[in-house]
Amino acid sequence: PKPPPPAIIPVTPLQDPVFVLPPPSTTAQSAKRARTADEEVRHATTTPPADTGPISSFAETSISEALAKAEVYRSFAAALDTELAR
């Protein structure tokens, strides 16, 4: 007898993350880290794309969005570190 075909598991797409402001920093080091990360995100999102074509413009936009999302995850991680250290 033939084995049954493998089960097909439906995959739901991930939703966009919810943007929540991080809590105020409690130490000078975390404040400096947040300030540095904020400057990186501001630079990534305000730098005008080079006029080199639609593909590089798309790539630059995608990278900028990924950096902005990464900053949100970093802020969550910093908030968790602060809460767990208490």
Q: What is the pLDDT along the chain (86 residues), one digit of tens a residue?
A: 677 777 776 766 666 665 656 655 556 556 566 566 666 666 555 555 555 567 788 888 899 999 999 998 999 898 888 888 77
Is residue 14 in some structural domain? no
Is residue 61 in some structural domain? yes
Residue 31 CB neighbours (<10 A): 12
pTM over 0.75: no
The whole domain housing 86 covers 56-86
Residue 23 neighbours by CB under 8 Å, 6+ apart: 79, 82
Q: Which two tokens stand for residue 29?
A: 């080091």
- Domains in the chain, number: 1
